[in-house]
Chain A
Amino acid sequence: MRNKTAILVAALTGLHLILLLAGFVAPYDPAAQNRELPYAPPTRLRFEDATGFHLRPFVYASTRVLVGDQAGSYQEDRTRAYPVRFMVRGSTYKLLGLHEAFVHLFGVAEPARILILGTDGYGRDEFSRVLFGGQISVAAGITATFIALLAGGILGSVAGYYGRWIDESLMGVTELFLSLPWLYFLLGVRAFLPLHLSALRTFFLLTGVIGLIGWARPARLVRGIVLSSRNHNYILAARGFGGSDFYILRRHIMPKALGVLITQAALLVPQYIAAEVTLSFFGLGVSEPVPSWGNMLSALEQYSVLVSYGWLLAPAGALIITSVLYGYLADALHSG
């Protein structure tokens, strides 16, 4: 069991590292439009050409057919191969948001392009966008989880520890929050704000709202644990020795709740990522040209896009992988 948890933690760490270093892993600038290449399909990585097999993979440059029955489709120019190179110079980005850098993990020489997941309707590299979009979506999920657990943990323990009217009123509030239709609530909140919000402010608004609405469930869990351990003998003893309320909560009660909180976190993160995706899908999240999994998926609202350009489903795939990994982790933590 422990082994499984370790593998899952390693996989998730890898995933988050890739997202964190998106600028380095992504071959292109996620907002750069390449208007000659709208809806280009994923580039095929090749090992074999007329001269035989090559160890180093290569790609062909593609151009868009403009007229005739095949208009809109792409044709490969097989006269010249472009080998895939590692650690190449490319567009500048900020590593970890601080350090200006221009080295990318891999790339090909212009005019060829290595489009692992094709391009969207503006010719922007979908793979780079999935990585940068993941930064926003996953960070939103984690931040919102943190807010929800922090608020839930504090309010839950206060309610459980002090009991009586404090408990009654706080739990009444949780019921109110649990019954809140959060999508409509957010639509309402958005209507009161100015037309345009910067990406950063939108991000904090989203995570704040998701987290603040989500605190109710963990609060109830923590309250239950605190309530059940409040009258244990060792707590009574600690109190007899003159331990303050804060000391007892921190030293004796919170450690018991910690395991539950961590399992909760593994459950809540994918939920909140999905919440961010939903909101961005409806245009309430970060706006163009900043990618997030949700606003990328909104292109698929159109039937013609959905049936013609399957590679644009990539953000949904990324969301599923992330959710499944977190789900297994929660499962492993719970049973282990």
Chain B
Amino acid sequence: MKRIAGLTLLYVCLLAGACFAAKVAPEAAKPGEELARMADVSGRYGGHLTIGQRSEPKTLNPVIATDAISREVIGRLMGDLIEINRSSQQTEPALAKSWKISSDGRTFALQLRKGIRFSDGFPFDADDVVFSFGVYMDEAVDSPQRDLLIIDGKPITVTKVDQHTVRFVLPRPYAAAERLFDGLAMLPKHLLEKPYREGHFAQAWSLNVRTSEIAGLGPFRLKEYVPGQRIVVERNPFYWKVDSENQRLPYLDELVFLFVGTEDAQVMRFEAGETDIISRLSAENYNLLSREKARIALQLADMGPSLEYNFLLFNLNDLGGKKLDDVSKKQAWFRDLKFRQAISAAVDRESIVNLVYGARGTALWGNVGPGNKLWINQAIPHPSRSIERARELLKSAGYKWNSTGQLLDAGGQPVEFSIITSSSNSQRMKMATLLQDDLAHLGMQVHIVPLEFRALIDRVFQSFNYDAAIMALGGGDADPNPEMNVWAYSGTSHLWHLGETQPATDWERELDQLMQQQMVTLDYARRKKLYDRAQQLIAENLPFIFLGTPNILAGANSRVGNFHPAVLDPYTLWNSDELYVRGPGLENAGVR
């Protein structure tokens, strides 16, 4: 009897503990603390928001995380020196309150905010910055960000000038170098130096990390992780931003990440009101939700074209040494510019926008779309679809048609090839089906081969055993620099011809030079001119047949305040410190 009473008491205590766990209150500002004031932000304290994620994050370690899902959570926990404001697409001071660039563009002096603290209350200073960059650039750690920090094979040098000043020296001028700092989370030296010195840094900050062992400079800090179910992050009481009324951000008590499985499950949970924010919606799901708007209170946002570009890619790789006679025979067609131009002319981009993106997308004729207002070359022509022009182009290149309308090349071989695409991406599958029909009008026989994504990547990057593929790139940042690895001939995403030892064609040589030049040009207008020419070369020579880009579509429950999705990743949570819960009943809102 006594034991039962004891147990009951224990349970009551546990339950009470769970229900009445004290919410962390924001710390009062200390004198000398240099906080960032967001003059146009207001909201109210309290409550929590829930976000459905497709799967569990793989890690909470910002240095080794590569997948978008992990980064979505990590981004809430960590802070950067300089941030790209996702709304304006411009850089903004963050942990560095200001910076000076030397006249040769090689030396950056960053002034850190004074008096600010990590989420465990430990002060942040220049030593943490130097430590963090040491980790990012360490070859043994193998961070995906390392490539950005090694310029011309030489690392950036980072030196501490004083407790709150850090100097970065670049091996050569680098355009828009301050954008590099976005996404490089500052690490707490006091917590991570030990695992780093002991050589097991990659194992640090796994999902099972104890909450006392992880700290960051983001608006939230880790509260709990329930395997297979959720991650809960709570307010960082020491966060360094305040709103217009000098109240310390963030407004929310907690942010809950639920692991729901698939994109469809995300939509269903959102529809049922179990989650509050959803991003990367497909047009079909967006339209589905907008029909539900009458029933449930939602705010949906169509942010316009994304920066991603979908394209048809032909295999122009050097196949010497690989036994792929079948593919190399077809490469004679693919290498012919007129053949590619004919295909581009025959593609019904308008239908792609209407049928694939449900009219919530934009047709593309180049790698930079209208979503990237700063860099798009407006002079790139947008010829409308013309089967006649396509036929003329093919005719002038020596192709003919037989009595049944089949297209034959100069040698009398029927033109027939297959397009591989990821079977899990229904939008690209649909594009392939439309292309198949478009090209049938030219007498080409096109087969669609849906492949599992990994098998597709293997064929495109390793075995080169494919004719054509539909893929997508871009979407990271508006700046041209992340595009280097696509357009520079030695780039790792130079998909149509990987592993070139020198540019295969004159235009590729020019393109490579333009990209290298723009990277070291600091003046925006001159850089824009170089990149305009690069875009023109790409559009004229069609290494990719550009198809279209989806709009960025996101939604939130109407009780979410300050919901301002952006076209840059992370589309909805970039201002998680400013999000708040509207309306009455806040006292209960935090209880799950």
| Candidates B285, B288, B348; contact of A35 at CB < 8 Å | B348
Neighbour of A283 across the interface among B354, B423, B433, CB < 8 A: B423
Chain A residues within 8 Å of B268, by CB: 303
Residues of chain A contacted by B27 (CB below 8 angstroms):
none
Contacts A196-B447, A304-B282; A33 near B434 (Cβ below 8 A)? yes
Q: B348 contacts A287, CB within 8 Å?
A: no
- Whether B447 contacts A33 by the Cβ 8 Å rule is no
Please determine whether B359 and A287 come into contact, CB atoms closer than 8 angstroms: no
Query: Does B264 lie within 8 Å of A303, measured CB to CB?
Result: yes
**Which residues of the other chain, B, contact A196 by a CB distance below 8 angstroms?**
418, 447, 449
Question: Once bound together, how far apart are the Cα atoms of A121 and B356, in whole Å?
Answer: 9
Chain B residues within 8 Å of A33, by CB: 434, 437
Contacts of A121 in B (CB 8 A): 355, 430
Task: List A contacts of B8 (CB < 8 A).
Answer: none
Alpha-carbon separation in the docked complex, A73 to B340 (Å)? 36
Q: Which of the four size classes fits the interface of chain B?
A: 20 to 34
Within 8 Å CB of A305, what residues of B? 284
Q: Does A122 contact B (CB under 8 A)?
A: yes
**When the two chains form their complex, are residues B466 and A195 in contact, meaning their CB atoms are under 8 A apart?**
yes
CA distance in complex: A123, B447 (Å) = 20
Distance between Cα atoms of A69 and B284 in the complex (Å): 14
For residue B436, CB closer than 8 A to chain A, the reply is yes
Q: Which chain A residue has the least Cβ–Cβ distance from B429?
A: A288
Contact bitstring A265-303, B, C-beta under 8 A = 1, else 0? 000000000000000000100011100000000000111
> Number of A residues whose C-beta is below 8 Å from B?
24
Q: Which residues on the A side are within 8 Å of B447 (C-beta)?
A: 195-196, 287
A123: chain B residues within 8 A (beta carbon)? 355
Contact B267 A304 (CB under 8 A): yes
Complex contact B433–A288 (CB within 8 A)? yes
B287 within 8 A of A: yes
Expressed in whole angstroms, the minimum distance between the Cβ of A94 and any Cβ of chain B is 14
Residues 417-442 of chain B: 1 if any A CB is under 8 Å from the residue's CB, otherwise 0? Answer: 01010010010001011101100000
Min Cβ gap B423→A in Å is 6
Residues of B within 8 A of A308 (CB): 284, 287-288, 291
Question: Of B351, B420, B448, B465, which is within 8 A of A288 by CB?
Answer: B448
Question: Could you say which residues of chain B place their CB within 8 Å of the CB of A35?
Answer: 348, 351, 354-355, 434
The answer, yes or no, to whether A38 is at the interface (CB within 8 Å) is yes
Q: Please, how many angstroms separate the alpha-carbon atoms of A71 and B450 in the complex? A: 30
Contact of B358 with A by CB under 8 A: yes
Complex Cα distance A72/B357, Å?
Answer: 12
A55 within 8 A of B: no
Residue of A nearest to B290 (CB): A69
In angstroms, Cα B427 to Cα A301, docked, is 13
Q: In the complex, which residue of chain B has the Cβ closest to the Cβ of A38?
A: B355
CA gap between A44 and B577 in the complex, in Å: 53
B264 and A71 within 8 A (CB):
no
Interface centre among A72, A283, A303 (most CB of B within 10 A): A303
Q: Given the known inter-chain contacts A38-B355, A195-B449, A287-B449, please indicate yes or no for A304 contacting B287, CB distance below 8 A.
A: yes
What's the minimum C-beta distance from A186 to chain B, rounded to whole angstroms?
A: 15
B323 CB to closest chain A CB (Å) equals 13
A66 contacts the other chain (CB 8 A): yes
Instruction: Judge if A307 is at the interface, Cβ distance under 8 Å.
Output: yes
Shortest distance in angstroms between B442's beta carbon and chain A's nearest beta carbon? Answer: 15
Q: Cβ of A289: which chain B residues have Cβ within 8 Å of it?
A: 433, 436-437
- Of residues 307 through 327 on chain A, the ones whose CB sits less than 8 Å from some CB of chain B are 307-308
Interface residues of B (CB under 8 A from A): 264, 267-268, 282, 284-285, 287-288, 290-291, 348, 351, 354-355, 358-359, 418, 420, 423, 426, 430, 432-434, 436-437, 447-450, 465-466
In the A-B complex, the 10 residue pairs with the smallest Cβ-Cβ separation, listed nearest first, are A303-B264, A304-B284, A196-B447, A196-B418, A304-B288, A35-B351, A195-B449, A283-B450, A304-B285, A288-B433
A-B contact pairs, 27 of them (CB 8 A): A35-B354, A35-B355, A35-B434, A69-B290, A71-B287, A121-B355, A121-B430, A122-B433, A122-B437, A195-B420, A195-B447, A196-B447, A283-B423, A283-B450, A287-B449, A288-B432, A288-B436, A289-B433, A301-B426, A303-B268, A303-B285, A303-B288, A304-B264, A304-B287, A305-B284, A308-B284, A308-B288
**Residues of A bordering B, CB below 8 Å:** 31, 33, 35, 38, 66, 69, 71-72, 121-123, 195-196, 283, 287-289, 301-305, 307-308
Given contacts A35-B355, A122-B437, A302-B426, 10 further A-B contacts (CB under 8 A): A33-B437, A122-B355, A123-B355, A195-B418, A302-B264, A303-B288, A304-B267, A304-B284, A304-B285, A308-B287
